[in-house]
Structure 1
Amino acid sequence: MCKRFWKFAPAAVLISILAACAQKAPPPPPPPPPVVVIPPQPQPPMGAPESMRIPEMADNGVRTTVNSNVSTAQTVWNFRSAFNVAALNCVEPEYEPILAGYKQFLKVHDKSLDRVDDELDKNFKGAFGKTGIRERETYQTQVYNFFAVPPVKTTFCEAAMQIAAELAQVPAGQLEGYAPQGLAKIEAPFMDFFNAYDQYRADLAAWQAKYGGIIVLAPEQRAEAVTAQ
């Protein structure tokens, strides 16, 4: 474009044109990098640790726990164990009915519990011989640990409050009939927690796949990056 004016412009004008042509405007600065809004990383439910083992879901969609596929006698004893854990751990004033209910439970259903205890001893001895009692104690420790998972304490104690109220209406000799539904109710908070933890792991995997490779800079680092461009 500048050359088209050289033949026809006066000398003074030609000098101005040449000066303008010599001073090309600098290119515009590059736009700042796009701002990536990263949502918070998913966190475990109920204050649980970021990594923990939970019972796996079976192929039939039912989660397998220490309470799965057990005999009637074992169901009764696992229910007793769960109620025992609640009586020991739910010590806040609002949960006082649990301990009182547990004491009453042992008194009312003493004969049924003794019968179940003897039956389980025989079952374990028959299955494991001389190590039967030790095997039973090992299994029972797993049951106690299951019902003592810290993140579930609040909802577990609330379920135990309901159990204490219901047990007050169960007469002696009827424990075996109530135990399956009682065990399911007192186990339900843990099933809810396990489901929530599974969802957390799925959400975390999706978050890491989408945002895990993004380097998040501090504000002063972002300013330096823009200035350097």
Structure 2
Amino acid sequence: MPRPPMNAAANLTLPQPGPDGSFPTPSRSLSPVGTTWHLRAALNVAVLQCAKAGDPMELQYNAFLAAHKAVLARAHEGLKAEYRSSHGSAWQDRFDDDMTRLYNFYAQPPAREGFCRAAAPLVATAATTPTAGLEGFAAPALASLDVPFTDFYRAYAEYRADLIAWQAGQQAAARMAAVQPVAPAAVPRLSVSDEVLMGDTRVSDGDMGASTGR
């Protein structure tokens, strides 16, 4: 029986793939300020998921926050302004919901190992990227951080297809077993060995008398 990949649960709900077959993520089709802020969120989750206190990754992340404090603050305010423009009075709730969804996306346990591998070098690079180049760094960095999750989604979709095929095979085998003809019971036959019938061919006097009437 097929098993879910990466020790995932057997009843996950996947995002609906697009027309090109790719899976959407919360970090696609963003403005520059949205991309920069989403990068901060992704790296934040990476440090929480992948590093222990005092690890180089944690120190590099703190250096990233310090080096780009002003850029990150502008990105945050710019993204909130986009939500105000798009959602009116409901912008705060929508913003909070989307940020929760964003953090949950990067915290998915099945993809954690791949996510940590992808994030570690990016945290180090982000800390030393010039402030003027942070927006240009953010887009390809986010694309790299999405890969472990879209790879997981793809593997999970394949698992589901394999499971459906396996279940169909099991059902077909069960149906065939149910209609298999049962061989009729053999009718017992009495047989006598020729050795018993022909074991003694002599004729006794008594037999002769009986046959001649004497």
Q: What TM-score, normalized by structure 1, do the two folds share?
A: 0.71
Of residues 118, 122, 133, the one that matches 2:92 is 133
| Kept after mapping to 2: 8 A contact 1:98/1:160 | no
Question: Which residue of structure 2 lines up, in the alignment, with residue 206 of structure 1?
Answer: 165
The offset of 1:214, in angstroms, is: 4.4
Q: Does 1:186 align with 2:184?
A: no
CA displacement, residues 35-88 of structure 1 (integer Å, 9 cap, x when unaligned)? xxxxxx010000000110122211122222212222221111111111111111
Q: Is the 8 A contact 1:45 1:200 kept in 2?
A: yes
**Structure 1: gaps spanning 5 or more residues:** 1-40, 216-229
Deviation at 1:159, TM superposition (A): 1.0
**2:25 maps to what in 1?**
65
CA–CA separation in structure 2 for the residues paired with 1:58 and 1:172: 34
CA distance in 2 between partners of 1:208 and 1:96 (Å): 47
1:72–1:210: structure 2 CA closer, same or farther, 3 Å change rule?
same
Per-residue deviation, 1:89: 1.6
Partner SS, residue 42 of structure 1: coil
Match of 2:38 in 1: 78
Match 2:13 to one of 50, 53, 67: 53
Larger deviation, residues 74-83 vs 167-176? 167-176
The number of equivalent residue pairs is 176
Distance 1:212 1:105 in 2: 56
Task: State the percentage of identical aligned residues.
Answer: 36
Alignment of 1:123 with 2:108, yes or no, is: no
The CA RMSD measured in Å over matched residues stands at 2.1
Where 2:36 maps in the other structure, the secondary structure is: helix
Aligned to 2:130: 171
Give the secondary-structure state (helix, strand or coil) at the position aligned to 1:51: coil
Could you list the runs of 5+ residues in structure 2 that have no partner in the other structure?
175-214
